Amino acid sequence: MSRRRVVVTGLGTVNPVGRDVPSYWRNLVDGVSGIGKIQQFDASHLPVQIAGEVADFDPEEYIPKKEARRLDRFSQLFWAASHQALQDAGVDYTDAGEAAYRAGVVVGSGIGGIISIEAGVDTIRERGASRVSPLAITQIIANSAGGMVSIAYGLQGPNTCVVTACAASANAIGDAAEIIRRDEADLMVAGGSEAAMSEFPVAAFAQTRALSTRNDEPERASRPFDAERDGFVMSEGGAVLVLEELEHAKARDAQIYAELVGYGMSADGYHITLPRPGGMGAARAMQSALRSAGMAPDDIDYINAHGTSTPANDSTETAAIKLAFGDAAYQVPVSSTKSMTGHLLGGAGAVESIACVLAIRDGIIPPTINLENPDPECDLDYVPKTAREVPVRAAMTNSFGFGGHNVALIFAGM
């Protein structure tokens, strides 16, 4: 039996630079920042007061009122992105009989419903055990987003959840593709979500010293590869790809954006937050993805970097790209769209996969904004400030997570 091929047939996202795919992509290409002062709670007493938030998100645009109020925001954002992606793919499994057994979900989240954890702990401390919401557990568990989407859209095939910090939704996409390849499903909703805009998680991330404190210049705070970078900017959002087996997609005349051709992962085995110096851990994930795609470094025309804007990540990732790509590292354009979106944590791999897919479709590489004075240790072509029109045959996206998780995905044009 020949290898089952996996293609992308639907996209959806709700994130700080766009509440749907067209506005997200337009703003990425135009170099628009989605970062601002935190609006969802009073952050004036915290060292970090900036973030990328989804402004004016109305869950009831996608979710029946009764369900919407039962969900944590991270699930609402994932539901919205899934709704868009399924519509874009033109599939509906709500009355599909046994075909629905061949359609599933993999959701990735760095944490899960942390806003609900914080609220629940406040309640028990202030009002006692009898006032804790019966919905608290189902709001908190990270798999609830995928569970709710399966219920809402009738997806009764494989359904699982990946929790690998900021690599989570990249793993979700890679794992969903493997489920299709081993013939357990024909179509998978794959992606991730994060919503951690409340006092406790922002304070806690700030304490890791990984966040930018450029509070007075929010739009300039996420500046990957720049010498003046001082940390990442937390963001929220959901992003979803509909992955489908190639012949299944062809049989229903589906639009095909790109093929998911490579997936690689590794662990640094070094430190809970810092990358392994020299970048060998991340390089091995990239090499593994190239190997699984049967590609050489010069087959890749664009790398969407993890590029968080932390001092440690960006120089180490640069070193890792050189290890994995050799001389080709200096030829391939690399950009970090986190310069505009901020860091969607568990949603990052998916929202950046969408950027790769659309870069392939349109032949446009979105820029790294705010890159004014490159760090001498960051000496690759980072597509500074403005987008570049160039054919993209294949694109790689990197995602690395606390815990030392490294993931690389490769998409290719058809």
Partner 1 sequence: MDRGEIESKLSDLLVDELGLERDKISRDAKFEEDLEVDSLGVVELLMALEDNFGVQIPDEEAESITTVGEAVDLVHAKLSQGG
Least Å from the CB of residue 61 to partner 1: 15
Indicate which single residue of 2, 65, 97, 129 sits in contact with partner 1 (rule: CB under 8 A): 65
Least Å from the CB of residue 120 to partner 1: 13
Least Å from the CB of residue 139 to partner 1: 11
Indicate which single residue of 39, 87, 133, 373 sits in contact with partner 1 (rule: CB under 8 A): 133
Backbone angles phi, psi at 398, to 5 degrees: -105, 145
The C-alpha atoms of residue 88 and residue 173 are separated, in whole angstroms, by: 17
SS3 per-residue string spanning 56-91? CCCHHHCCCHHHHCCCCHHHHHHHHHHHHHHHHHCC
Under the binding rule (CB under 8 A), the answer on residue 68 touching partner 1 is: yes
Under the binding rule (CB under 8 A), the answer on residue 131 touching partner 1 is: yes
Q: Is 391 helix (H, G, I), strand (E, B) or coil?
A: coil
Indicate which single residue of 138, 159, 171, 193 sits in contact with partner 1 (rule: CB under 8 A): 138
Please tell me the number of Cα atoms within 13 Å of 8 on its side-chain side: 30
**Amino acid code (one letter) for 190:** A
The C-alpha atoms of residue 366 and residue 363 are separated, in whole angstroms, by: 10
Indicate which single residue of 56, 128, 130, 253 sits in contact with partner 1 (rule: CB under 8 A): 130
Indicate which single residue of 97, 128, 134, 269 sits in contact with partner 1 (rule: CB under 8 A): 134
The footprint of partner 1 on this chain (CB under 8 A) covers a number of residues equal to 13
Identity of the residue, 32 or 135, whose beta carbon is nearer to partner 1 in the bound complex: 135
In angstroms, the Cα distances linking 9 to 309, 348, 410 are 31, 19, 16
What counts of helices (H) and strands (E) characterise the chain? 14, 14
Indicate which single residue of 96, 99, 135, 312 sits in contact with partner 1 (rule: CB under 8 A): 135
Name the token pair of 277: 């110096």
The strand pair at 334-335 and 302-304 is best described as parallel
Identity of the residue, 30 or 67, whose beta carbon is nearer to partner 1 in the bound complex: 67
Under the binding rule (CB under 8 A), the answer on residue 151 touching partner 1 is: no
Q: Helices in 194-343 by DSSP H: which ranges? A: 199-207, 218-221, 246-251, 280-293, 311-325, 338-341
Can 45 be counted among the known catalytic residues? Answer: no
Residues 6+ apart with CB under 8 A from 200: 114, 117, 118
Binding mask 189-228 for partner 1 (x = CB under 8 A): ----------------------------------------
The C-alpha atoms of residue 114 and residue 179 are separated, in whole angstroms, by: 28
Number of neighbours of residue 379 by Cβ within 10 angstroms: 14
**Amino acid code (one letter) for 295:** M
Least Å from the CB of residue 135 to partner 1: 6
Least Å from the CB of residue 147 to partner 1: 14
Can 343 be counted among the known catalytic residues? Answer: yes
Identity of the residue, 138 or 397, whose beta carbon is nearer to partner 1 in the bound complex: 138
Least Å from the CB of residue 128 to partner 1: 11
User: One of 83, 161, 248, 306 is an active-site residue; which one?
Assistant: 306
Identity of the residue, 138 or 368, whose beta carbon is nearer to partner 1 in the bound complex: 138
Instruction: Name which of residues 69 to 108 contact partner 1 (CB under 8 A).
Output: 69-70
User: One of 343, 356, 378, 405 is an active-site residue; which one?
Assistant: 343
Q: Are 241 and 191 in contact (CB under 8 A)?
A: yes
Identity of the residue, 18 or 112, whose beta carbon is nearer to partner 1 in the bound complex: 112
Contact segment (CB under 8 A) with partner 1 among 125-133, 255-263, 332-340, 342-350 equals 125-133
Identity of the residue, 69 or 209, whose beta carbon is nearer to partner 1 in the bound complex: 69
Q: Helices in 128-196 by DSSP H: which ranges? A: 136-140, 144-153, 168-181
| DSSP classification of residue 333 | -
Contact segment (CB under 8 A) with partner 1 among 134-142, 247-255, 292-300, 357-365 equals 134-142
Under the binding rule (CB under 8 A), the answer on residue 141 touching partner 1 is: no
Under the binding rule (CB under 8 A), the answer on residue 66 touching partner 1 is: yes
Least Å from the CB of residue 134 to partner 1: 4
Q: Is 263 helix (H, G, I), strand (E, B) or coil?
A: strand
Encode 212-250: b = buried (16+ Cβ within 10 Å), e = exposed: bebbeebbbbbbbbbeebebbbbbbbbbbbbbbbbebbe
Can 166 be counted among the known catalytic residues? Answer: yes
Q: Which residues are catalytic?
A: 166, 306, 343
Q: Name the site residues for partner 1 (rule: CB under 8 A).
A: 64-70, 130-131, 133-135, 138
